[in-house]
Amino acid sequence: MKLFEGNKYFQNDRKPENKKAIKDRKIYLRFLDKQYNRVSNIDELLGKLPEKNEQIRIITQKSFNAFAILLYIAEKVDIEELILGIYRIDKNSVNGIKELFYKGVISKITIVLSSFFDQTKKAEIFAEMLSEFARENKNVRLVFCWNHTKIMGVKTRENKYYVVEGSGNLSNNAMIEQYLFEQSEQSFNFHKSWMEELLELDKN
């Protein structure tokens, strides 16, 4: 079942107050439809999530957003914790992550975002959206640093650990991108440990 199927969610459960908000929502829903088509493609390609200590390598043949992999995982397991190393992210992916959190699909989120991401006006807005999201929710942590990683880690409520590393961002990417998709507690803890160090440094 689609996680967002029939969902009327808007931030803070409010209906959009103006035409721009309505237009943004329509664009976002089209984005979700496109991601779900990609999720179907991933499902046909992989058939399942990686087994313990199994690695799957993926090469994309079309423009691709790594958010589709997060949706693929979220459709199959209950996510307790999400960790992200991000170089670039677009508005729809920000909204998708927020919606997964507010719907209770993800309980805890840690994001390491590139400090040179907000060099343009659009990117600055997306960065501020994430900053506000973190300020409003104690289970969402965000740190900015000189970061070029593209990492996604998921801990499930059944204590399984999935990690995705690759060249693609949480935005529309080039036709050919590469990903390594694995189930590995060791890899998850490795990435979580350096993210925790950055969060501690950011407090000082």
Q: What is the pLDDT of residues 43-99, one digit of tens each?
A: 777 888 999 999 999 888 777 788 888 988 998 899 999 999 998 888 888 999 998
User: pLDDT-derived band of residue 15, with 50, 70 and 90 as boundaries?
Assistant: low
pTM: 0.83
Number of H helices, E strands in the chain: 5, 7
Helices within the chain (DSSP H only)? 19-46, 67-76, 91-102, 121-136, 185-203
CATH code, domain carrying 152: 3.30.870.10
User: pLDDT-derived band of residue 2, with 50, 70 and 90 as boundaries?
Assistant: low
- Which range of residues forms the domain containing residue 101? 11-203
- Does the residue 131 lie in any domain? yes
- Does the residue 5 lie in any domain? no
**Chain-centre distance for alpha carbon 34:** 15
- Does the residue 6 lie in any domain? no
Q: What is the pLDDT of residues 160-195, one digit of tens each?
A: 999 999 998 888 777 788 999 999 999 999 999 999
Coil, helix or strand at residue 13: helix
Q: What is the model's pLDDT at position 90?
A: 87
Closest alpha carbon to 34 in 6, 65, 11:
65
- Give the count of domains, the chain: 1
Positive or negative torsion for Cα 45, 48, 54, 55: positive
Higher pLDDT, 107 or 31: 107
- Does the residue 22 lie in any domain? yes
- Does the residue 16 lie in any domain? yes
- Does the residue 1 lie in any domain? no
Q: What is the pLDDT of residues 137-157, one digit of tens each?
A: 999 999 999 889 999 999 999
- Does the residue 170 lie in any domain? yes
- Does the residue 102 lie in any domain? yes
Q: Is the pLDDT of residue 34 over 90?
A: no
Q: What is the model's pLDDT at position 26?
A: 78
Q: What is the model's pLDDT at position 9?
A: 37
Closest alpha carbon to 143 in 110, 119, 118:
110
